[in-house]
Structures are given as C-alpha cells and as structure tokens.
Structure 1
Amino acid sequence: MSRTPQLVEYRGNCHCGAFKFKLKVPEIKEAEACTCSMCYKNGYLWAFPKPDKCWEFTVVKGDENTTLKNYLFGKKMMAHKFCPSCGTSVMEVRMPHSTVVNAPSMAINIRTLEDVDFDSVKVNTFDGASILQPPYQIPEPVAAGPVPEGTTSYHGNCHCGAVAYTLLSGKKISEAASCNCSICWRDAALWIYPESKAVTFKGLESAVEYTFAKGGSHHGFCKICGVSVYERFVGTHQDNKSALNVRTMNDLDLAALEIEQLDGKSLLPAYDVWGTEE
C-alpha cells in the first residue's frame, strides 16, 4: 500500500503582492527548465502537478483571470500568466482548446515561492525548443546606425518583439551578473551594465517600468509578454548606464558566460509582502 506523501505548504506571489497564493505539495526537490523561446527568456523553474500526488493551489489575493495577464504564442495552447504591475511571471495554464496530449493543466514558476531550498533543487532540462512548433521567429534587429570597426552588435528583444534593442559593444560579452534580490530572482535576469548611449531601444511605449524599496532601479518589462528586458537607474552611481537582461539577447550562448553572483537579497529594507497575512 502506497503511503500518502507528507505535504508542505508554500506561499507564493508576484513581486508587488497583487497576486498571492498558497501551494500545498510534497516537498519540492525537482523543477523543470524548458529551452523553448519563452521559458528561456524568463528563466522559468517549473513545478507540474503530478496525477499520482496531492496538489492544492489556493488563491489568497487577486484573481487568476483578472489580476494576471495572459500571453499566448505559437499554437496558443498554454497561457503564460504574469502580473501587469510588476512583471512577475507566475504560472501557465492549459487553454480549453488545447490538443496537446498529456499537457499539464497548469504549472507554477517556483521562483515565485518562499521557503524553497533552491540550492538543493534538482533542475531537469526539457528541450522544448526542438519540439514546440512553429519555431520561434526572431524579430528584425533594431537599426543602430554605422557599426565602428572593432565593435560588436548585440540584438535583443522581449518574446513578442514589442520591446527590442541593439547594443554596440567595444568588447565581447563574456560575463553577466545574477542577483538574488526579490525581483531579479523572480525574473531570472542576467545583467550586463553598458553605458546608456551604447544602447538603441525600440518600442519603449510597450514597456512598463516597476520600482520598489528606495526606487533607484526601474525594472522595464514588456506589457504584452511580460519578459524583463532592462533596468533604468535613477539617483544612483550608475545613472549613465543601463542594465540589459542578456536572456533577451539573440544568438548569445549563456552557458559560455562567467556569472557573477550578487547578494542583493541582503540589502535593506528587507523584502516582505506577506507581513502578518496568512
């Protein structure tokens, strides 16, 4: 006789707290990372409901269908749901018309959960990039004028292509920074910090900027697909620079980059949207 697994209750939320939920499941020890174009840009870590295990999902604040915004692409079988205020990608839900065999009814981005021991979570990779059809079409690059000799052009965009940019860099990108603060961790952002004058943007009218705490960093994400693209700095020592999320860069091999770990989580004030709420 199989034993009922012991359940652990996790609290989850978008960064601004407009959408909060509780997830009661067996202890999360594994997660799935998909290589498809959307999951790659958002750096999702997925937990899927298992038919043979308990799975309790309860919304505490907000509404799945009105607080969160849907983004669909390809054959539009799964709705990627993100907060339109802070950009946090929370979950995906199978659409009623889906014809995909054995597709999960929903999945939770565990980056939105508290109290997960991420250092011990085993991440399994799913090669969605080679399976999902039609293939992702990279948008046309942003024109940035003449490229000086010895300069490399890097082109990037959100998933839907509404927000895009070209970076002209005097050196090859070989490293990026991963910050463990509450917003960067949720966005799975990998940052570089070029001078703003080296970046040509297109479609900033489709971007939403979200800031919190001391308001020094304005996190720009696409209001259509929710992908985190850039940071704009105000009143800091980096006001002449922009941060670019290299996950949004096309034809850049992330595995070849040296990743610097930044401990933004330790900076005050401490992040806490739950407070005494249950």
Structure 2
Amino acid sequence: MEDERSTPYRGNCHCGRYRFELSLPGNIKTAMACTCSLCVVKGYLWIMPPEGSFRVIRDDGRLQEYTSKAMSDKFCSHCGTGVLGQHLYGPMRGQKMVNVRALQGVNPFQLDVTTIETDVITETDTTKTDTTKTDVKGLAPEPPKPLVFSCHCGNLRAELDHPIQEYKVKEDNCSLCVRVSPDPQRNEYVMDSVSYSLHQNAYIGVYPTKDQVTVHGREHGFEYYGIKAEATGRKWSSTVHCKTCGVFVLNVIYGPPLSIFDKLAPDRKAHALEVYYKNTSLLPLNVRALRGSYESIDIQRSDEGTEGYEELLDPWRGEGVWVHDG
C-alpha cells in the first residue's frame, strides 16, 4: 500500500512510448548534476528514487542504451529523451537514476542543484576534429577554426563559422519552439510545437543561418517532430539526434506549405511571410553540444512553463497493460 505522505509523479519520454510513475517521500526540491561529458552534453539532472518506488506504465521497446566510459544511459530512440542512467565511476557509481527533466510538473529552474564531480580521467574526447597546430612563426595566422557542436560519440556534428558571441543564446524551460505558424481562425501567429521535448532535452539554443553552419554525419541522425506534428502531419520542424548516443545536436526548420498563408488577410500575409522566410533560413544548434566550456556565454533564460503538454499524453495508461520493473 502506498504511503499516504508520499508524492506521486508521472514521467515519460516526450513521445510517450515510455512512461513510468514514481512515489517519492515529499516534493522534489533538489537534483544532482554530474560533470561527466555525457551528463553535460545531455543536460541531465538526476534523482535517485528509493527502491520499489519506480514502476513502468508503458514500454513500447524504444529505449536504447548508450555507454560512455563514465556512465550508461537509456534514451528513447524515437524522440531522443534521456530517461534513465547509471554511473560506472565516481560518487554516484552503481546508483539507478531518473532524469528529473522527464518528470511532469517539475520545473528544473526551481530546483536546488548539487554538482557531483566525476573523474574526467576515465573519459576521452571522441570528437572527430582536426587538432593540428598552425601557429608557425613567420606565417600569417590562419582564421579561427569553426566552433564544433557534436554528439557524444562524434558521429553527428555541426560546425559554426561565426563567433557564438554574435548571437543571442536562449534557454527555455518550456517547449518554446522555433516554428511559428499562422492561425487562420485567430488571424495571428501561434507556436506549433516540437514542444516540451526542448524542455526534456535541456535545450540551450543558438540561432545561426543555414549558410553559417556545416553539418557532418547527417545520415547518423534521426529526426523527431513532436506529438502534435506526428498526429496532424504538420512536420514543420524537428530536433535532430544521434542514432547511436541520442544527443540532440540541431534543429531543422521546414516551415508550413506556403499555401497556408493564403488564408490570411493581405496585410497579415506580408508579415507572416517575412517571419516564415526568416525562420526557415535558420539552423538552430544546441549549445550543450558545443565542444569546450560554454560557461562564459551569456545565456538568456525564459521560464515559460509547459501548460497543455500533459493533455497530449491522454489517456495516460492507454490500452496497454502495466509492465513492472524487476
């Protein structure tokens, strides 16, 4: 029987193909962040649930495991959300952990986060980049090398040929999306969502144009469009993750078909098209995937909330049977 003083939580990957429930002694007010490279690039915030408090509600078999030298995690191979983890080294070694960002009703901006140092000697940078020195005396200095945004295994990478200080860098606690679409009924712009997945993937965005970015290993990535988009066919933007390690590296903005703007009044259509062309010229990158430290970058935070997301997962238990963990 569940303790009357316990607090129930629902958790899931964004697409809902993996769902679970937690029963914890009180509200979640704290979490742990780890300094290992996999935790950093995925923005993981961990809690260690008590034994017997975790139960799986739905499992469609889409969780995929990836192991670095420091830890092993499980992410959804459809939407990319990291859900579970276990460190192989360091103070949290052997502990079964749940990603707080995968829980409903928990605002990571309001948590007291403790940083756990993991021995970096156990890790090796796997990024496939040229590290040859070029500062030869007497020769003109070469132009700065592009900034590299990479997944953990190095299969999916993007290079930005402009200093990141030239752009606004944003972190949203919502599913604030780069897609903007016209709503003919209200004659205004609304956001069609890749939605809460940006929140679950700990997205920090920088927004260069496509001509400023070179992508390598695109064939090693998979795209996720969001629950609404997959239900309606409006696949107007996506998040791109590495098939092997699950790291979210970039966004792709396709935009709606141009015919949709014909439903707008002429004075609104011109502005809508201006927004459309501006957005579709962008190739947003996830700053967490930036190789090297990004702590000195000025990051603008916006706490927008996740209102409306949970309703997309109804019915919570669906038509399937419960699957209990062992």
TM-score by length of structure 1 reads 0.82
Q: Does 1:127 align with 2:166?
A: no
- The answer to whether structure 1 residue 253 and structure 2 residue 253 are counterparts is no
Structure 2: distance between partners of 1:100 and 1:150 = 39
Alpha-carbon distance in structure 2 between the residues aligned to 1:100 and 1:127: 7
- Map Cα deviations across residues 99-135 of structure 1 (whole Å, 9 max, x no partner): 878724410001000122444321111122xx14423
2:57 is matched with: 60
Does 2:171 align with 1:183?
no
Confirm or deny: 8 A CA contact 2:22 2:53 kept in the other structure.
yes
Q: Secondary structure at 1:172's aligned position in 2?
A: helix
Which whole-Å CA distance do the structure 2 matches of 1:246 and 1:176 have between them? 8
- Match of residue 5 from structure 2: 6
Task: Return the letter of the residue paired with 2:39.
Answer: C
Contact 1:164 1:202 in 2 (8 A): yes
How far apart are the structure 2 equivalents of 1:152 and 1:260?
A: 28
Alignment of 1:31-110 (within 5 A): 31-50=31-50, 55-62=52-59, 66-74=61-69, 78-93=71-86, 103-110=93-100
TM-score, normalised by the number of residues in structure 2: 0.70
Spell out, residue by residue over 1:50-80, the C-alpha distance to the aligned partner (whole angstroms, 9 max, x if none): 5xxx6511100016xx4300001116xx421
Pick aligned residue for 1:157 from 150, 161, 174: 150
Match of 1:228 among 236, 248, 251: 248
Q: Which runs of 4+ in 1 moved over 4 A?
A: 98-102, 148-152
Select the structure that is richer in strand: 1
Q: Which amino acid aligns with 1:106?
A: K
1:274 aligns with 2:267: no
- Partners of 1:255 and 1:33 in 2: how far apart? 18
The residue type paired with residue 137 of structure 1 is D
Rate the CA distance shift 1:104–1:258 in 2: closer, same or farther, 3 A: same
Matching residue of 1:219: 239
| Offset of residue 25 of structure 1 | 1.1
CA contact (8 A) 2:171 2:301 kept: yes
Change (3 A) 1:223 1:171: closer
- DSSP-derived class of the 2:15 partner: coil
More helix by share: 2
Aligned length: 257
| Residue in structure 1 matched with residue 214 of structure 2 by the alignment | 200
Residues 185 and 142 of structure 1: is their aligned pair in 2 closer, same or farther, counting only changes over 3 Å? farther
CA contact 2:167–2:208 (8 Å) conserved in 1: no
Q: Which residue of 1 aligns with 2:324?
A: none
Where 1:272 maps in the other structure, the secondary structure is helix
Unaligned runs of 5+ in 1: none
Moved more, 82-91 or 18-27: 18-27
1:174/1:241 CA distance change after superposition, 3 Å: closer
Q: Distance in 1 between matches of 2:249 and 2:89?
A: 32
Greater shift in the superposed pair: 226-235 or 25-34: 25-34
Q: How much identity, in percent, do the aligned residues show? A: 28
